[in-house]
Amino acid sequence: MPSSLRSMRHMLIGFLVFGFIYTMVSVLWGFSALAAFPALERADLATPTLLASEFVPPVLGVIVMIGIMAAAVSTIDSIMLTLASMVSRDVYANVKPNVSEKRQLLMGKFVVPVIALMALAFAELELDLIAVLSVAASSGLVATVPALIGAFYWKRGTAAGAVVSVVGTSAFVLLMYATGNSLLSLPAGVWGILVASVLFVGVSLMTKPHQATTDAFFTAISEELGKKSLQWGL
């Protein structure tokens, strides 16, 4: 938990840098698999095929596979808990405003196994969509990057700019995938970050920021971080 707004800003940049490095490693890994096995039929088999090949020492292959499994399990846990919290607090609590915390907790506990069963049913279909979904998710996430950075670093940014940036870029990315995922030989992810940045900056400059809301936003964050710091003894 960051101890101040400045620390939160640094953490945000750190996550973005880590995400960029992770993406570059994944891309290089994919190109390595393509170069080593040009006849590979499915992109989903790139990692297991490369780890099982003579190019990777067996011990290193086992360690990497264990790391991948551990990361997958922790990611699945986080996603299920996040979705359960969203349903119980953002949906159920709004439908029933006076619902108690205990009822919200019970709703969250009910949602977790439902999500797990839905994911299991989807996996049983074996649609060979791991690579496609991963790329599509990454391309879609870039729509939020300019708005996130702008929220903490650019006080001229507006809510309208953030909404138009996220919605417009998401629609643009979906359109690119529907029409072949290529424009001027560049994939949706590259165009997504460009479109999101242009929309966020352009719409923000054309609209007027609500200074009172901006000040309240940073004040609330600073106060909440201060409370957490006291609780953790920082």
Instruction: Name the range with the highest mean pLDDT among 7-16, 18-27, 50-59, 124-133.
Output: 50-59
Q: How many Å apart are CA 57 and CA 55, to the nearest integer?
A: 7
Q: Phi-psi bin for 233: left (phi > 0), alpha (psi -120 to 50), beta? A: left
Q: Of the ranges 47-51, 59-63, 181-185, 230-234, which one carries the lowest mean pLDDT score?
A: 230-234
pLDDT at 232: 47
Q: What is the pLDDT of residue 39?
A: 82
The whole-number average pLDDT for the span 9-29 is 77
- Per-range mean pLDDT, top range of 35-44, 128-137, 221-230: 35-44
Backbone angles phi, psi at 208, to 5 degrees: -100, 125
Across 189-206, average pLDDT: 86
- For every residue of 111-134, DSSP letters joined together read HHHHHHHHHHHHHHT----HHHHH
Q: Does residue 51 register a pLDDT over 50?
A: yes
What is the distance, to the nearest Å, from the Cα of residue 100 to the centroid of all Cα atoms in its chain? 30
Exposure string over 166-177, b if 16+ CB within 10 A, otherwise e: bebbbebbeebb
The residues near 142 (Cβ < 8 Å, ≥ 6 apart) are 169, 173, 189, 192, 193, 196
Question: How many Å separate Cα 68 from the centre of its chain?
Answer: 18
Residues sharing a CB contact under 8 Å with residue 170, sequence separation 6 or more, in sequence order: 140, 143
Q: What is the pLDDT of residues 76-101, one digit of tens each?
A: 888 888 888 888 888 888 888 888 88
- The Cα 122–Cα 119 span in angstroms is 5
Query: Could you give the C-alpha distances from 111 to 37, 74, 78, 203, in angstroms and in order?
Result: 42, 18, 13, 38
pLDDT over threshold 50, residue 115: yes
pLDDT at 174: 79
Q: What is the pLDDT of residue 137?
A: 72
Q: Give mean pLDDT, residues 125-134.
A: 70
Q: What is the mean pLDDT of residues 191-204?
A: 88
Mean pLDDT to the nearest integer, 23-51: 81
Mean pLDDT value across residues 174-186: 73
**Is 183 strand, coil or helix?**
strand
Give the type of residue at 223. E
User: Side-chain half-sphere of 199: how many Cα atoms within 13 Å?
Assistant: 26
183 strand-pairing partners: 186
Confidence of residue 218 (pLDDT cuts 50, 70, 90): low
Structure-block tokens of residue 4: 């101040």
Put simply, whether the predicted model's pTM sits higher than 0.85 gets the answer no
Mean pLDDT of 3-32: 75
Integer Cα distance of 154 and 151 in angstroms: 6
Q: What percent of the chain has pLDDT over 90?
A: 2
Q: At 227, is the pLDDT very low, low, confident or very high (cuts 50, 70, 90)?
A: low
